[in-house]
Amino acid sequence: MKTLAEYEGLAAEAHGHLCAGQILGLRMAIHGLSLLEISDPRGADRKRLVTFVEIDRCMTDAISVVTGCRLGKRALKFRDFGKVAATFIDLRDNRAVRVAALDSSKQEARLLYPHVEAKNEQQMLAYREMPVESLFTHQWVSVALGPEDFPGYKGPKHTCETCGEGINFERFVEHNGRILCRACHGEAYYKVL
């Protein structure tokens, strides 16, 4: 593992700037990996980690910096719950821990740095030094992953019988005996014009 300062430089480069959300994400990932006793997530331990993030904000980019988990590697999973939380899964030891940010940390940052007017700067300073117990809660959890959810999965490709598009990773829906993509099944996030 690198130092927090080293991760901050990498996070600023990956995200385009450094902010309180980035520092919170770095600390969250470091804490989660520490709980799982994973010390080299981008090296020797890189194939044993899958991470679920629950928000599409700054902290998610920071989590990727520490863990090495990426969407393109199928090791980063996104669930849009709107929560500043992440679940770190150790595939080798079949353990998972969910770490969630405490909203009270914002108030604690104000108390620690009342003389700093800019909220982002105030939180950045505080989040660097606050103990993990003041920043996060954690729970040991179980996450059911099918073989199609693992990095490196190579499964059959299906074709949607309505739109003709290919469907990977068993993400099809069988409806009335037909293979459909989720969009044609009514789960589209877009509307065709």
pLDDT at residue 146 in the model = 85
The pLDDT tens digits for 108-150 are 999 999 999 999 999 999 999 999 999 999 999 999 998 888 8
- Residue 82: what are its φ and ψ, rounded to 5°? 70, 25
Residues 123 and 65 in one domain: yes
Q: Is 150 within a domain?
A: no
The count of domains in the chain is 2
Give the separation between CA 183 and CA 190, rounded to whole angstroms.
8
Question: What is the full DSSP assignment across 74-142?
Answer: T-EEE-----SEEEEEETTTTEEEEEEE-THHHHHHHHH-TT---HHHHHHHHHHHS-HHHHEEEEEE-
Confidence class of residue 23 from pLDDT cuts 50, 70 and 90? very high
Q: What is the mean pLDDT of residues 61-84?
A: 94
Within a 10 A sphere around the Cβ of 84, how many other Cβ atoms? 23
Could you tell me the residue range of the domain that residue 168 belongs to?
155-187
Pair (116, 170) in one structural domain: no
pLDDT (0 to 100) of residue 173 = 93
Tokens linked to 172: 């099809």
Question: In terms of domains, do 113 and 39 share one?
Answer: yes
What's the CA angle centered on 56, arms 117 and 120, to 5 degrees? Answer: 10
Q: Which residues contact 133 (CB under 8 A, 6 or more apart)?
A: none
The pTM of this model reads 0.88
Q: Which of the four pLDDT bands, split at 50, 70 and 90, describes residue 69?
A: very high
For residue 170, the model assigns a pLDDT of: 84
Shared-domain flag, residues 109 and 27: yes
